Protein backbone atom coordinates (compact mmCIF):
# COMPACT_ATOMS: atom_id res chain seq x y z
CA UNK A 1 0.00 0.00 0.00
CA UNK A 2 1.13 3.54 -0.65
CA UNK A 3 2.44 5.77 2.16
CA UNK A 4 1.02 8.91 0.54
CA UNK A 5 -1.25 11.14 2.62
CA UNK A 6 -4.91 10.23 2.74
CA UNK A 7 -7.04 11.82 0.02
CA UNK A 8 -9.81 14.08 1.23
CA UNK A 9 -12.45 11.96 -0.50
CA UNK A 10 -12.89 8.39 -1.71
CA UNK A 11 -15.67 7.20 -3.99
CA UNK A 12 -16.42 3.47 -3.70
CA UNK A 13 -18.27 1.84 -6.60
CA UNK A 14 -19.18 -1.89 -6.64
CA UNK A 15 -19.81 -3.13 -10.18
CA UNK A 16 -21.14 -6.32 -11.73
CA UNK A 17 -21.54 -6.53 -15.52
CA UNK A 18 -21.67 -2.76 -15.97
CA UNK A 19 -19.77 -2.34 -19.24
CA UNK A 20 -22.74 -0.54 -20.80
CA UNK A 21 -22.89 2.23 -18.21
CA UNK A 22 -19.40 2.37 -16.70
CA UNK A 23 -17.88 4.95 -19.12
CA UNK A 24 -20.85 7.29 -18.67
CA UNK A 25 -20.68 6.92 -14.90
CA UNK A 26 -16.96 7.62 -14.85
CA UNK A 27 -17.39 10.72 -16.99
CA UNK A 28 -20.04 12.20 -14.68
CA UNK A 29 -18.24 11.20 -11.49
CA UNK A 30 -14.86 12.63 -12.52
CA UNK A 31 -16.55 15.84 -13.69
CA UNK A 32 -17.98 16.26 -10.19
CA UNK A 33 -14.66 15.50 -8.51
CA UNK A 34 -12.88 18.04 -10.73
CA UNK A 35 -15.01 20.76 -9.11
CA UNK A 36 -14.27 19.69 -5.53
CA UNK A 37 -11.19 20.88 -3.67
CA UNK A 38 -8.71 18.38 -2.31
CA UNK A 39 -7.29 15.09 -3.52
CA UNK A 40 -9.71 12.30 -4.32
CA UNK A 41 -9.79 8.70 -5.46
CA UNK A 42 -12.36 6.43 -7.09
CA UNK A 43 -12.24 2.80 -5.95
CA UNK A 44 -14.11 0.66 -8.47
CA UNK A 45 -14.68 -3.00 -7.56
CA UNK A 46 -15.33 -5.66 -10.18
CA UNK A 47 -17.50 -8.29 -8.48
CA UNK A 48 -16.68 -11.15 -10.83
CA UNK A 49 -18.16 -9.54 -13.95
CA UNK A 50 -18.66 -11.70 -17.04
CA UNK A 51 -18.38 -8.84 -19.55
CA UNK A 52 -15.73 -6.20 -20.28
CA UNK A 53 -16.19 -4.32 -17.00
CA UNK A 54 -12.73 -5.23 -15.68
CA UNK A 55 -11.00 -4.23 -18.91
CA UNK A 56 -12.73 -0.83 -18.82
CA UNK A 57 -11.69 -0.40 -15.19
CA UNK A 58 -8.06 -1.26 -15.85
CA UNK A 59 -7.92 1.08 -18.84
CA UNK A 60 -9.48 3.89 -16.81
CA UNK A 61 -6.96 3.43 -13.99
CA UNK A 62 -4.11 3.67 -16.52
CA UNK A 63 -5.49 6.99 -17.80
CA UNK A 64 -6.42 8.57 -14.47
CA UNK A 65 -4.23 8.14 -11.36
CA UNK A 66 -7.24 8.80 -9.14
CA UNK A 67 -8.87 5.52 -10.18
CA UNK A 68 -8.11 2.34 -8.23
CA UNK A 69 -9.47 -0.80 -9.90
CA UNK A 70 -10.09 -3.86 -7.74
CA UNK A 71 -10.99 -7.28 -9.13
CA UNK A 72 -12.41 -9.95 -6.84
CA UNK A 73 -11.70 -13.64 -7.36
CA UNK A 74 -15.39 -14.37 -8.01
CA UNK A 75 -18.83 -12.89 -7.57
CA UNK A 76 -19.35 -12.27 -3.86
CA UNK A 77 -22.51 -10.18 -4.09
CA UNK A 78 -23.10 -6.44 -3.88
CA UNK A 79 -22.67 -6.00 -0.14
CA UNK A 80 -19.37 -7.89 0.10
CA UNK A 81 -18.03 -6.21 -3.05
CA UNK A 82 -18.87 -2.89 -1.44
CA UNK A 83 -17.14 -4.01 1.76
CA UNK A 84 -14.02 -4.86 -0.26
CA UNK A 85 -13.93 -1.35 -1.71
CA UNK A 86 -14.53 0.23 1.69
CA UNK A 87 -11.66 -1.75 3.19
CA UNK A 88 -9.26 -0.47 0.50
CA UNK A 89 -10.30 3.18 0.20
CA UNK A 90 -8.19 5.73 2.07
CA UNK A 91 -10.22 8.93 2.03
CA UNK A 92 -11.19 11.02 5.04
CA UNK A 93 -14.71 11.00 3.61
CA UNK A 94 -16.22 8.17 1.62
CA UNK A 95 -19.03 8.29 -0.92
CA UNK A 96 -20.84 5.01 -1.62
CA UNK A 97 -22.55 4.94 -5.00
CA UNK A 98 -23.51 2.39 -7.66
CA UNK A 99 -22.41 2.69 -11.28
CA UNK A 100 -25.89 2.54 -12.79
CA UNK A 101 -26.42 6.33 -12.49
CA UNK A 102 -29.75 5.93 -10.73
CA UNK A 103 -28.17 7.87 -7.86
CA UNK A 104 -26.79 11.19 -9.17
CA UNK A 105 -23.09 11.91 -8.54
CA UNK A 106 -23.97 15.62 -8.81
CA UNK A 107 -25.44 15.49 -5.27
CA UNK A 108 -21.93 15.11 -3.83
CA UNK A 109 -21.23 18.85 -3.22
CA UNK A 110 -24.47 19.21 -1.22
CA UNK A 111 -23.62 16.09 0.76
CA UNK A 112 -20.13 17.45 1.46
CA UNK A 113 -21.66 20.69 2.74
CA UNK A 114 -23.79 18.71 5.21
CA UNK A 115 -20.67 16.97 6.54
CA UNK A 116 -18.94 20.35 6.78
CA UNK A 117 -21.85 21.46 8.98
CA UNK A 118 -21.27 18.60 11.40
CA UNK A 119 -23.08 15.55 10.07
CA UNK A 120 -21.45 12.13 10.36
CA UNK A 121 -23.51 10.51 7.59
CA UNK A 122 -25.53 12.00 4.75
CA UNK A 123 -27.75 9.45 3.02
CA UNK A 124 -29.83 9.79 -0.11
CA UNK A 125 -33.56 9.37 0.43
CA UNK A 126 -35.67 8.68 -2.64
CA UNK A 127 -38.73 10.79 -3.39
CA UNK A 128 -39.50 9.11 -6.70
CA UNK A 129 -38.25 5.86 -8.23
CA UNK A 130 -38.44 6.34 -12.00
CA UNK A 131 -38.09 3.34 -14.29
CA UNK A 132 -39.02 0.77 -11.64
CA UNK A 133 -42.01 -1.53 -11.88
CA UNK A 134 -45.03 -1.17 -9.62
CA UNK A 135 -44.17 -4.55 -8.10
CA UNK A 136 -40.66 -3.43 -7.16
CA UNK A 137 -41.89 -0.14 -5.70
CA UNK A 138 -44.55 -1.87 -3.63
CA UNK A 139 -42.25 -4.60 -2.35
CA UNK A 140 -39.54 -2.05 -1.49
CA UNK A 141 -42.05 0.07 0.44
CA UNK A 142 -43.34 -3.01 2.27
CA UNK A 143 -39.79 -4.13 3.12
CA UNK A 144 -38.72 -0.81 4.63
CA UNK A 145 -41.91 -0.56 6.69
CA UNK A 146 -41.49 -4.14 7.88
CA UNK A 147 -37.84 -3.80 8.87
CA UNK A 148 -38.65 -0.49 10.55
CA UNK A 149 -41.24 -2.16 12.76
CA UNK A 150 -39.18 -5.26 13.51
CA UNK A 151 -35.78 -3.68 14.21
CA UNK A 152 -34.64 -1.82 17.30
CA UNK A 153 -32.41 0.27 15.01
CA UNK A 154 -34.13 3.10 13.15
CA UNK A 155 -33.37 2.34 9.51
CA UNK A 156 -34.55 5.21 7.29
CA UNK A 157 -37.15 4.18 4.69
CA UNK A 158 -36.69 4.61 0.94
CA UNK A 159 -32.91 4.62 1.13
CA UNK A 160 -30.18 2.55 -0.46
CA UNK A 161 -26.44 2.44 0.09
CA UNK A 162 -25.98 5.84 -1.61
CA UNK A 163 -24.42 7.90 1.18
CA UNK A 164 -21.42 9.95 2.27
CA UNK A 165 -19.75 8.98 5.55
CA UNK A 166 -16.81 10.21 7.60
CA UNK A 167 -13.69 8.12 8.13
CA UNK A 168 -14.66 7.64 11.79
CA UNK A 169 -17.99 6.08 10.80
CA UNK A 170 -16.29 3.94 8.16
CA UNK A 171 -13.75 2.60 10.67
CA UNK A 172 -16.62 1.64 12.99
CA UNK A 173 -18.40 -0.06 10.11
CA UNK A 174 -15.33 -2.04 9.07
CA UNK A 175 -14.86 -3.22 12.67
CA UNK A 176 -18.14 -5.15 12.43
CA UNK A 177 -17.25 -8.74 11.48
CA UNK A 178 -20.58 -10.14 10.29
CA UNK A 179 -20.64 -11.97 6.98
CA UNK A 180 -24.28 -11.45 6.01
CA UNK A 181 -24.07 -7.71 5.64
CA UNK A 182 -26.85 -5.13 5.36
CA UNK A 183 -24.66 -2.07 5.12
CA UNK A 184 -27.36 0.62 5.23
CA UNK A 185 -28.60 -0.96 8.46
CA UNK A 186 -25.08 -1.27 9.87
CA UNK A 187 -24.42 2.41 9.20
CA UNK A 188 -27.70 3.30 10.89
CA UNK A 189 -26.65 1.16 13.90
CA UNK A 190 -23.44 3.20 14.29
CA UNK A 191 -25.53 6.26 15.13
CA UNK A 192 -24.12 9.76 15.26
CA UNK A 193 -25.63 12.63 13.35
CA UNK A 194 -27.20 11.17 10.20
CA UNK A 195 -29.08 13.43 7.80
CA UNK A 196 -31.15 12.66 4.69
CA UNK A 197 -30.90 14.45 1.38
CA UNK A 198 -33.95 13.96 -0.84
CA UNK A 199 -33.66 13.24 -4.56
CA UNK A 200 -35.56 11.67 -7.43
CA UNK A 201 -34.05 8.36 -8.47
CA UNK A 202 -33.49 8.05 -12.22
CA UNK A 203 -33.90 4.91 -14.33
CA UNK A 204 -30.80 2.83 -15.04
CA UNK A 205 -28.68 4.56 -17.67
CA UNK A 206 -27.93 1.20 -19.32
CA UNK A 207 -28.02 -2.50 -18.63
CA UNK A 208 -30.37 -4.48 -16.43
CA UNK A 209 -31.02 -4.58 -12.70
CA UNK A 210 -28.73 -6.97 -10.83
CA UNK A 211 -31.42 -7.59 -8.20
CA UNK A 212 -34.00 -10.09 -9.50
CA UNK A 213 -36.74 -11.28 -7.15
CA UNK A 214 -34.63 -14.16 -5.78
CA UNK A 215 -31.79 -11.83 -4.76
CA UNK A 216 -34.25 -9.33 -3.31
CA UNK A 217 -35.70 -12.08 -1.11
CA UNK A 218 -32.26 -13.16 0.10
CA UNK A 219 -31.30 -9.54 0.75
CA UNK A 220 -34.48 -8.97 2.76
CA UNK A 221 -33.84 -12.17 4.73
CA UNK A 222 -30.29 -11.00 5.58
CA UNK A 223 -31.62 -7.63 6.68
CA UNK A 224 -34.35 -9.07 8.90
CA UNK A 225 -32.24 -11.79 10.51
CA UNK A 226 -29.34 -9.36 10.96
CA UNK A 227 -31.33 -6.64 12.70
CA UNK A 228 -34.26 -8.30 14.39
CA UNK A 229 -35.00 -11.27 16.67
CA UNK A 230 -38.74 -10.75 16.23
CA UNK A 231 -39.09 -13.86 14.00
CA UNK A 232 -37.56 -15.97 16.78
CA UNK A 233 -39.73 -14.41 19.47
CA UNK A 234 -42.77 -14.95 17.25
CA UNK A 235 -42.59 -18.66 18.10
CA UNK A 236 -43.72 -17.82 21.63
CA UNK A 237 -46.72 -15.89 20.35
CA UNK A 238 -47.61 -18.62 17.88
CA UNK A 239 -47.21 -21.17 20.69
CA UNK A 240 -49.77 -19.34 22.84
CA UNK A 241 -52.17 -19.13 19.90
CA UNK A 242 -51.81 -22.83 19.16
CA UNK A 243 -52.28 -23.63 22.84
CA UNK A 244 -55.52 -21.63 22.82
CA UNK A 245 -56.70 -23.48 19.69
CA UNK A 246 -55.85 -26.81 21.29
CA UNK A 247 -57.67 -25.89 24.49
CA UNK A 248 -60.72 -24.89 22.44
CA UNK A 249 -60.72 -28.32 20.75
CA UNK A 250 -60.39 -29.93 24.20
CA UNK A 251 -63.41 -28.04 25.53
CA UNK A 252 -65.35 -28.87 22.36
CA UNK A 253 -64.60 -32.57 22.81
CA UNK A 254 -65.56 -32.60 26.50
CA UNK A 255 -68.83 -30.80 25.84
CA UNK A 256 -69.66 -33.21 23.04
CA UNK A 257 -68.89 -36.20 25.28
CA UNK A 258 -71.10 -34.84 28.07
CA UNK A 259 -73.94 -34.25 25.63
CA UNK A 260 -73.51 -37.75 24.16
CA UNK A 261 -73.26 -36.35 20.65
CA UNK A 262 -71.45 -38.21 17.93
CA UNK A 263 -68.30 -36.40 16.98
CA UNK A 264 -66.89 -37.53 13.65
CA UNK A 265 -63.67 -35.71 14.58
CA UNK A 266 -61.70 -36.53 11.46
CA UNK A 267 -61.96 -33.06 9.84
CA UNK A 268 -61.16 -31.16 13.01
CA UNK A 269 -58.30 -33.54 13.81
CA UNK A 270 -56.74 -33.18 10.37
CA UNK A 271 -57.16 -29.40 10.48
CA UNK A 272 -55.44 -29.22 13.87
CA UNK A 273 -52.59 -31.51 12.79
CA UNK A 274 -52.07 -29.58 9.55
CA UNK A 275 -52.10 -26.23 11.34
CA UNK A 276 -49.76 -27.33 14.12
CA UNK A 277 -47.42 -29.12 11.71
CA UNK A 278 -47.25 -26.11 9.39
CA UNK A 279 -46.46 -23.74 12.27
CA UNK A 280 -43.76 -26.08 13.57
CA UNK A 281 -42.02 -26.33 10.20
CA UNK A 282 -42.31 -22.57 9.74
CA UNK A 283 -40.63 -21.85 13.05
CA UNK A 284 -37.99 -24.52 12.40
CA UNK A 285 -37.22 -22.70 9.15
CA UNK A 286 -36.87 -19.38 11.01
CA UNK A 287 -34.57 -20.97 13.59
CA UNK A 288 -32.60 -22.59 10.78
CA UNK A 289 -32.04 -19.20 9.13
CA UNK A 290 -30.48 -17.82 12.32
CA UNK A 291 -28.44 -20.98 12.89
CA UNK A 292 -27.20 -20.78 9.30
CA UNK A 293 -25.89 -17.28 9.94
CA UNK A 294 -24.07 -18.51 13.04
CA UNK A 295 -22.61 -21.45 11.10
CA UNK A 296 -21.32 -19.23 8.30
CA UNK A 297 -19.86 -16.81 10.84
CA UNK A 298 -18.17 -19.58 12.83
CA UNK A 299 -16.15 -20.79 9.82
CA UNK A 300 -14.11 -17.58 9.93
CA UNK A 301 -13.45 -17.43 6.20
CA UNK A 302 -12.50 -14.09 4.61
CA UNK A 303 -15.44 -11.96 3.58
CA UNK A 304 -13.97 -11.58 0.08
CA UNK A 305 -10.94 -12.56 -1.97
CA UNK A 306 -9.10 -10.00 -4.11
CA UNK A 307 -7.41 -11.03 -7.34
CA UNK A 308 -5.95 -7.75 -8.60
CA UNK A 309 -5.56 -4.13 -7.54
CA UNK A 310 -4.31 -1.70 -10.18
CA UNK A 311 -3.90 2.06 -10.26
CA UNK A 312 -3.62 4.69 -7.60
CA UNK A 313 -0.05 3.74 -6.74
CA UNK A 314 -1.17 0.40 -5.25
The residue-averaged pLDDT of 207-217 equals 66
What is the model's pLDDT at position 131?
Answer: 63
pLDDT digits over 100-113, tens only?
999 999 999 999 99
pLDDT digits over 265-297, tens only?
655 665 666 667 667 777 777 777 777 777 677
Measured at the CA of 167, the angle between CA 161 and CA 173, to 5 degrees, comes to 55
pLDDT digits over 8-19, tens only?
999 999 999 999
The residue-averaged pLDDT of 193-208 equals 84
Burial letters 211-229, b for 16+ CB under 10 A, else e: eeeeeeeebbbbbbbbbbe
pLDDT digits over 15-34, tens only?
999 999 999 999 999 999 99
Mean confidence (pLDDT) of the chain:
83
pLDDT digits over 41-65, tens only?
999 999 999 999 999 999 999 999 9
Is the pLDDT at 172 greater than 80? The verdict is yes
Kindly report the number of other CB atoms within 10 A of residue 158's CB atom: 17
Question: Of all residues in the chain, what percent carry a pLDDT higher than 90?
Answer: 47
Question: Of all residues in the chain, what percent carry a pLDDT higher than 70?
Answer: 74
Is the pLDDT at 299 greater than 80? The verdict is no
Burial letters 238-264, b for 16+ CB under 10 A, else e: eeeeeeeeeeeeeeeeeeeeeeeeeee
Amino acid sequence: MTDAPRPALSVVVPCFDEEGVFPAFLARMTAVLDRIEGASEIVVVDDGSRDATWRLMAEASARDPRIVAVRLMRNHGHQLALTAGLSICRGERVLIIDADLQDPPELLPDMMARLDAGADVVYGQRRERAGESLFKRLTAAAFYRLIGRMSDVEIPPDTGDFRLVTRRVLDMLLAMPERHRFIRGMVAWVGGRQEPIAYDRAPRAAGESKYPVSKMIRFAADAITGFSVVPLLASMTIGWIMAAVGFAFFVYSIVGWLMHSNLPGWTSLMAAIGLLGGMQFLMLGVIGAYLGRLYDQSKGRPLFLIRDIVGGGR
